[in-house]
Structure 1
Amino acid sequence: MLFRIKSYLYFLWKSTNQHGVHSPFVFNLVTKCFYDRKKRASDASITSIYKKNPVEISLKNTKLLNRLIGYLNYEKVLIAENSSNFIEQILSIDNSTTIYYSAEDLDQFDFIYLDINQLKKHSKLLDILFSKAHNDSLLLLNSIHTSEDHQTIWQQLHNHPKAKVSIDTYDFGFIFFRKEQEKEHFVIRV
């Protein structure tokens, strides 16, 4: 518990909002998706699913997951974890997505949701997932600050040569592969 408190205080000290972002891509993502709090028709469904599933993701972050798919116009989603179908349900609400559970199902994915614990279990998983990403893909990891191990994995991931844009929102780690962009790391309060 002490680790998480220290980790969160450090995150707050390093983090910024949209005013500290100089990348047009990330600025638009933050202002038009992360900080978009408009009421949506999907909110009631998301809240209902959220209340029925005991998960470690906050309701605010659950709604963000749903908004991401629509904002980025993602269709091919890989959920690379062995958990309940909670993430699938959330990502599918009002989004035209096809959900896959195996990296072998498709050559490339738009969005890859990964439980960070899977990387500890399968050392080759990251190479497989990176090979399945295209220029506009997003690899999203959960729980990047829940332990020292998770923080170490997150550090290695956002320093990876193929990871061009990384965003740390404390609960989630975002990795984009945008070859046209200089390598940048952002710490953003959501």
Structure 2
Amino acid sequence: MDTLLRQTRRAGDFPYPHQAAFLLDNPVRRLFTNPRDTVDHLELTPTDQVLELGPGPGFYSLEIAHELTDGRLELFDLQPQMLDKARRKLAAAGCDNVGFHSGDASSGLPFPDNTFDVAFLAAVIGEVPDKSACIRSLGRTLKPGGQLAFFEHFPDPDRLSVAELRELVEPEGFTLLDVIGNRWHDTVRFTRNPKLVEG
């Protein structure tokens, strides 16, 4: 299923077309990629403030929102059409703890400093034109000690390896927390280093 899904775009194309969103969220794909398992790896708490960057039609969003009984999920996507699909999905499930924001992650995120406990990106960072700027913006909006998590999988043509993620993320003030996965997919988690106090 993922092979078919990724044949609709080539490496370097940006972004994944919203017209093909049905390939991103359907029962057949769930046979191969279980969003519940991936969200379990995030070890969310009920009060967490979570940012999902590039949620598409909400394949993981529903599972995340259900975990946040006293928290909140903010979705940020380049395509308003994708956010509309996710909004309908979450509204149908009765999730009212979700915000929706559209913009370019390379140009900054519209959230205050130290807002989020967790930021989650599933097969997204490889499509961001200015990856370093995106990571810096995520670092600004994450609380010290907050978690930055990536889900990367084969055969995504933009998949970043664990080594590539570390090279990208660690210079921006993050430390590798753990890697969960196999040759087909990885959940790679980093923690935001406390900011040094000058003086």
Are 1:80 and 2:53 matched, yes or no? yes
- For the aligned residue pairs, the C-alpha RMSD in angstroms reads 3.2
Are 1:99 and 2:73 matched, yes or no? yes
Are 1:64 and 2:70 matched, yes or no? no
Which residue among 119, 125, 146 is the counterpart of 1:112? 119
- Work out whether residues 178 and 190 of structure 2, in 8 Å CA contact, stay in contact via their aligned partners in 1: yes
Which residue among 117, 134, 140 is the counterpart of 2:149? 140
Count matched residues. Answer: 128
CA distance in structure 2 between the partners assigned to 1:106 and 1:88 by the alignment: 22
CA distance in structure 2 between the partners assigned to 1:74 and 1:178 by the alignment: 21
Higher helix share: 1
Q: Which runs of 5+ in 2 are unaligned?
A: 1-24, 77-108
CA positional deviation for 1:114? 1.1
- Work out whether residues 74 and 110 of structure 1, in 8 Å CA contact, stay in contact via their aligned partners in 2: no
- Work out whether residues 164 and 175 of structure 1, in 8 Å CA contact, stay in contact via their aligned partners in 2: yes
| Cα separation, partners in 2 of 1:136 and 1:125, compared to 1, 3 Å | same
| Cα separation, partners in 2 of 1:51 and 1:93, compared to 1, 3 Å | farther
Aligned position for 2:3 = none
Aligned position for 2:171 = 160
CA distance in structure 2 between the partners assigned to 1:63 and 1:136 by the alignment: 19
Normalised to the residue count of structure 1, the TM-score between the two structures is 0.54
4+ residue segments displaced more than 4 Å = 144-149
Q: Which runs of 5+ in 1 are unaligned?
A: 1-49, 181-190
Normalised to the residue count of structure 2, the TM-score between the two structures is 0.52
Higher strand share: 2
